[in-house]
Amino acid sequence: MFKGNKKYIYLFCGIFALIILIQYLLPKPVNWTRTYQSKDKSPFGTYAIKNLLKNVYAENVEENKKTFYNLNSENGDSSSLIVINDRLDLNKNDVKALFQLLEKGKTILLSANEFGGKFSDSLHIKTEYSSFTYFNSFDSLLKKPGEEISFLPKNQSRSYVYPQAFWTSYFTNYDTSLFKIQAVTMRDKACLLKGKFGKGTLLLMSAPDVFTNYFIVKHENRQLAYSILSLVKNKTIVWDEYYKTYNVSHYSFMKFILESDALYSAYLLLIFSIIAYMITEGRRRQRAIPILEPMTNTTLEFVNVISHVYFNSKNHKHIAEERIKFFYESVRKKFGVNTNDLNDQLVNDICVLSGIDQKQVKQLFTYCERIKHQNELSELELIELNRQISNFNKNSLR
């Protein structure tokens, strides 16, 4: 398609590279998406806390990208497991494998704003968001004080005040026989629960934003995250990446393009350029189609030649006789009469059939007969003959 049009290829490639360069040099906007992924250095990623675990809270940190069932069959020691996401929906098999991990003596920390699925039904867990204004700009939400979290007992622990950009949930329902409250919000609502299951310990945290980069790196409230991590401190800590909303296994080539402003702009430019080229230059090229003159109507040429012959000959008598013959023939065809014998009966029949006054009809036929018997005819007489015949044809009902 681009054969013979290399200039378009160079033009497209140049614009494509220019767009990518401009987008690369522009300052990147802050990504406030709550991914909770350990690879993300954005405010709500968990890159900082993940890299803090090794040599501080564990000798070894492993990353899990499989289900609890596979983790249970492969890992049999009493290591700790950390799962952080905005919502955890565990099915029947996940819950069964989770309790088997606890029976083996693992310490498991599940941190999410919402708990759903079979897990929520099994332990009667329900959460509810703390109500704050989320319709302002992010900068204003970061400056306004919001939720407050404290360890129990409150009078013996420090309170950690978070801005309104901090998403906080609290437990509205849980099994009091299985769990004990470890931390509460400023309304004395439970946000951290601890329960013993066999040899293991299960910790439920309803404020996963505590572990995000924004509240870990150089933030005064990072001590809260450190205190919670001290509850799961172990020789080996397994960091989960499977139960994430933004699961890396669901990543695709198109998603990689769409998430990059530079690549997305270049992708759109490429699509529109191809469409523009197909419209303007993609059509099939061929030689010019020759213009053929339409065939002339020889009948009209013949009539034109004959008329000029009669006109140039000035033979008005002959023209009048031909005009009268043609008129009589048309009368015979229209009215079905015999024009060889001109009498009062013929005039009367034509008058009735044509709807023209009898005097006018008789005058026309008398004028025609007089011309037929003349030896010569003037131009004015020929014109008068044509006028009377034309009026008759125009006013006739047939």
Quick: pLDDT tens for 58-97. Answer: 999 999 888 888 888 776 677 899 999 999 988 888 999 9
Q: Is the residue at 289 inside a domain?
A: no
Q: Which of 223, 245, 267 is the last residue of a domain?
A: 245
User: In angstroms, rounded to a whole number, what is the distance separating the alpha carbons of residues 145 and 183?
Assistant: 19
Q: Which among 86, 89, 80, 88 is positioned nearest to 62, based on CA atoms? A: 80
pLDDT at 175 over 70: yes
Tell me the pLDDT of the chain averaged across its residues. Answer: 85
Q: Is the residue at 253 inside a domain?
A: no
Confidence of residue 171 (pLDDT cuts 50, 70, 90): very high
Q: Which of 245, 262, 281 is the last residue of a domain?
A: 245
- Segment among 55-59, 88-92, 296-300 with least mean pLDDT: 296-300
Q: Is the residue at 191 inside a domain?
A: yes
User: What does the pLDDT look like over 245-294, one tens digit per residue?
Assistant: 877 554 566 766 766 777 788 888 888 888 887 777 766 666 777 888 88
The letter for the amino acid at 113 is N
Share of the chain above pLDDT 90, in %: 34
* DSSP annotation of 314: T
Tell me which residue has tokens 């498991």.
108
Tokens of 221: 């409230």
Tell me which residue has tokens 């299985």.
178
CATH classification of the domain holding 219:
3.40.50
pLDDT at 2 over 50: no
**Are 74 and 177 members of one domain?**
yes
Structural domain of residue 338, as residue ranges?
306-395
How many separate domains does the chain show? 2
Q: Is the residue at 345 inside a domain?
A: yes
Cis peptide before 145 (omega within 30 of 0): no
Q: Is the residue at 271 inside a domain?
A: no
**Are 184 and 310 members of one domain?**
no
**Are 236 and 377 members of one domain?**
no
**Are 340 and 231 members of one domain?**
no
Within 10 A of 90 (CB to CB), how many other CB atoms are there?
23
Helix ranges, 251-357 (H): 253-258, 261-280, 298-313, 316-335, 344-354
pLDDT at 206 over 90: yes
**Are 72 and 219 members of one domain?**
yes
**Are 236 and 329 members of one domain?**
no
> For position 156, what pLDDT does the model report?
79
Confidence of residue 173 (pLDDT cuts 50, 70, 90): very high
DSSP states of 45-90 as a string?
S-HHHHHHHBTTTBSEEEEE-S-HHHHHHH--S--EEEEE-SEEEE
Q: Which of 245, 275, 290 is the last residue of a domain?
A: 245
Q: Is the residue at 284 inside a domain?
A: no
User: In angstroms, rounded to a whole number, what is the distance separating the alpha carbons of residues 66 and 72?
Assistant: 10
Helix (H) or strand (E) holding 197: strand 190-197
**Are 91 and 196 members of one domain?**
yes
Range with the largest mean pLDDT of 20-34, 111-125, 339-353, 374-388: 111-125
Q: Is the residue at 300 inside a domain?
A: no
Q: Is the residue at 151 inside a domain?
A: yes
User: What does the pLDDT look like over 120-144, one tens digit per residue?
Assistant: 999 999 999 986 555 566 677 777 8
